[in-house]
Each structure stands twice: as structure tokens, then as C-alpha cells.
Amino acid sequence: MATWAISEGAEKQCPQCGSIYVVKHHQVPVKDDDSADCEVCGIELERWKSTRYPVYTLKERGQWPKHNDMP
């Protein structure tokens, strides 16, 4: 199943470590310029500049660091 749809309570998977987040959107009265980083591996998951911003809640921790694809 695709998990990239942006809607209330959608799940999103980190492209780097595979952790699964539940994404909910909040509305604020002023524009917010911020970003959300993966709690597990630190990659930037999303960056926004709007009055609507995502809140990422870690649901399933991915395996990080990976052991099988070191350079």
C-alpha cells in the first residue's frame, strides 16, 4: 500500500531508514517556516512555509544505522 498520501492521520515512511510516522496536520494563524526531521536517522522528511503544518508521530522505528549498505 502506498503510504505517501497527505491527509489526516496518513502514514509516511522515512525514505532513508524506513521508520513509519503518522502524520497529522495542524492549522496555525501565522505562517510557520519550519521542517520535520526523522527522529531515527535525522533526514529531513518535510519542509514547509504555510499556516498548515504536519506533525509527525513515530509509530514504528526503522533499522538505523543499516548494517548491510555501508560504502
DSSP readout, 33-45?
EEEEE-TTT--EE
Residue 55, strand partner residues = 24
CA–CA dist 1, 27 (Å, integer): 27
Q: Quote the least distance from Cβ 22 to Zn ion, whole Å.
A: 15
Q: Which residues contact 8 (CB under 8 A, 6 or more apart)?
A: 24, 25
Residues in contact with Zn ion, shown as a per-residue x/- string from 8 to 47 under the rule CB under 5 A: ------x-xx-x------------------x-xx------
Q: Quote the least distance from Cβ 26 to Zn ion, whole Å.
A: 22
Q: Quote the least distance from Cβ 51 to Zn ion, whole Å.
A: 26
Please report, as ranges, the residues that interact with Zn ion according to CB under 5 A. Answer: 14, 16-17, 19, 38, 40-41
